[in-house]
Chain A
Amino acid sequence: MNTHTPFEAAVQAHGATVLRVCRAVLGPHADADDAWSETFLSAMPAWPKLPESTNVEAWLVRIAHRKAIDVTRRRARQAVPVEHLPETPAAAGSQGRSQSDARSAERHELWSAVGDLPEKQRKAIAYRYLGSLPYDDIAELLGGTAAAARRSAADGLQSLRRHPAFRDHDGA
């Protein structure tokens, strides 16, 4: 990057990716929004000093990883139940529910499948498949080797593959 590039360019280019990663790690809630905001807020002052060759997206995903940890710790200190999934449609499973109820029930299922993954697998998948981070970088963030990071992602994918929510999801 150079000092002539407005920071807005980074937000435009990578805002969606960073939010996807934050959501996959923290769930589709205010926590992910907080981590997203803190990621860009703390990246902004460092932006003009980044070497020209920096992979900006990878840099932001690494910051997002640290901010997600901060948010999780803060939440734990506040002693609020950690597991909060999106609201389940009240009449899930009952006949006559609308299509959007069905859709949101399906999303709920998919989210619980992601939420059920061990943390390391969930993060490895988020950083690799949503954040496009190389396994070397993921290993640095999660500890262990690149091979172990690759294994975590593969194990996570395998669990999702076996999960009914993902097995039946047609990806339309």
Chain B
Amino acid sequence: MNEQDSKIERALRELTDPSSGELSRLQDRLVADARASGSLDVVYRLVDSPVGRLLVAATSKGIVRVAFEIEGFDSVLSDVAAKVGPAVLRSSTELEVAAQQIDAYFDGSRHAFDLPLDDRLSAGFRQLVQRHLPQIAYGSTQTYKQVAELVGNPGAVRAVGTACATNPLPIVVPCHRVLRTDGTIGGYLGGPDAKRTLLDLERQAA
């Protein structure tokens, strides 16, 4: 290809080049069309927060995954695609209610989430533990041991720890309110700093 032709190629590229606004408008339309045709498995959105960007993903049933940036959004999305379905699309306009509730949680004005949840990413004992967690009041904490007793399996302290550390819906399902018996912070998907930030926030706003 001679120089003239590559100049024309550049001109064609420039002429047809979409702006990012045009692409995101098309993207939102695609999400709506895919939903209408019933072919969408998961829609997700990124939400800014004091503990870094959060990924919020939902099925038609409800929120299925909340993820911290340190988990790696790509690997989180691959995992969701493998377990729920590969028809996964990003939206900048959907999940508005979830985004608003998360904002309100972080400014201290919301103490409990009221969102439809899809708990298909957990099962068995972990799911049992995760269903218990919303009963721990805003601003208070329990120990892994107390949670084990409350779910009727006092010997399963370690399993409770695992259930909290693998909660697919952190923040919304408050696994950060569970601490080690010695008062130390314990594991968290978002890392110990994020867990501490949430606990501090709740202590101040409670």
Q: Which residues of A are interface residues toward B (Cβ below 8 A)?
A: 3-8, 11-12, 15-16, 19-21, 23-24, 28, 33, 36-37, 40-41, 44-45, 47-48, 107, 110-111, 114, 125, 129-130, 157, 160-161, 166, 169, 171
- Min Cβ gap A128→B in Å is 9
State the CA gap A161–B7 with chains docked (Å): 9
- Residue of A whose beta carbon sits closest to that of B32: A37
**Given A37-B29, A44-B34, A114-B12 in contact, is the A3-B89 Cβ separation under 8 Å?**
no
Query: Are A45 and B5 closer than 8 Å at their CB atoms?
Result: no
Q: A6-B77, A6-B81, A161-B8 are in contact. Are A28 and B14 (CB under 8 A)?
A: no
Chain B interface extent, by class: 35 or more
A171 and B11: CB pair below 8 A?
Answer: yes
Query: Are A110 and B30 CB-contacts (below 8 A) given A6-B88, A19-B23, A161-B4?
Result: no
Contact B13 A6 (CB under 8 A): no
Contact, CB under 8 Å: B8 / A11: no
Q: Is the CB of A48 within 8 A of B11?
A: no
A15 near B27 with CB under 8 A, answer: yes
B83 to chain A, nearest CB (A): 9
Which residue of B9, B18, B23, B90 contacts A129 across the interface (Cβ within 8 Å)? B9
Residues of B within 8 A of A41 (CB): 30, 33-34, 37, 39
Q: Measured between C-beta atoms, what is the minimum distance from B50 to chain A in Å? A: 26
A130 vs B18: C-alpha distance in the bound complex, in angstroms? 13
Q: For B42, list chain A residues within 8 Å (CB).
A: 6
Contact across chains for A37 and B8 when beta carbons are under 8 A apart: no
Contact of A3 among B18, B23, B39, B82 (CB under 8 A): B82
Any chain A CB within 8 A of the CB of B78?
Answer: yes
A161 to B34, CA, bound (A): 41
Cβ A171 vs Cβ B16 within 8 A: no
Q: Closest residue of chain B to A12, judged by CB?
A: B90
What residue in chain A is nearest B9 (Cβ atoms)? A129
**With an 8 A cutoff between CB atoms, is B47 at the interface?**
no
Task: Report yes or no: A7 in contact with B5, Cβ–Cβ below 8 A.
Answer: no
A-B contact pairs, 16 of them (CB 8 A): A6-B81, A6-B88, A7-B89, A16-B18, A16-B23, A19-B23, A20-B16, A20-B17, A20-B18, A45-B39, A48-B85, A114-B12, A114-B15, A157-B8, A161-B5, A169-B11
Top-10 shortest CB links A-B: A6-B88, A20-B16, A4-B82, A6-B81, A23-B16, A171-B10, A6-B77, A48-B86, A4-B78, A19-B18
Return the contact of B8 from the options A15, A33, A47, A166 (Cβ within 8 A).
A166
Pair A19/B10 contact, Cβ less than 8 Å? no
**In whole angstroms, what is the CA distance A3 to B84 when docked?**
10
**Residues of chain B lying within 8 A (CB to CB) of residue A110:** 11, 15
Quick one: which of A15, A44, A166 has the most chain B CB within 10 A? A44
A16 touches B17 (CB 8 A): yes
Known: A5-B81, A41-B37, A107-B15. 9 other contacts (CB 8 A): A8-B77, A15-B26, A28-B15, A41-B34, A44-B34, A45-B87, A47-B87, A129-B12, A169-B11
